[in-house]
Amino acid sequence: MKVRPTDPETIMKSYSTEAIRPAMPRFHLRQSNGLYWPITFVFVTERMGREIMQERQLILDAMPPSDRKKQEALFRRYDPEVSVQAFQGTLRLFGIVKDS
């Protein structure tokens, strides 16, 4: 029996349409219920703030719609932009001003 590349047994499965969650998120802790708890930081640089938001988007994109609303509610508990502003305020307090 000759095996052809188009036979179902030999066709490679495409994973490009599957949503893959971050294996080791840097800014969120995975809970036993599959949701991610945001790690609260007091001071966050602008770059770190962007990375937190990117990681959140990856997590949300990979979630089934049934869990997405619960996850968004958890994310609303901590706004990284507040920590970015706190860090900028501290820098200004010490006279360190970022050039625009």
Q: Are 28 and 56 in contact (CB under 8 A)?
A: yes
pLDDT value at residue 20? 78
Could you please report the per-residue DSSP string of 64-93?
Answer: -HHHHHHHHHHHHT--HHHHHHHHHHHHHH
pLDDT digits (tens, 9 = 90+) for 10-44: 666 655 566 677 889 999 999 999 999 999 999 99
Confidence of residue 94 (pLDDT cuts 50, 70, 90): very high
Name residues whose C-beta falls within 8 Å of residue 44's C-beta, 6 or more positions apart in sequence. 52, 80, 83, 84, 86, 87
pLDDT digits (tens, 9 = 90+) for 29-83: 999 999 999 999 999 999 999 999 999 999 999 999 999 999 999 999 999 999 9
Amino acid at 56: R
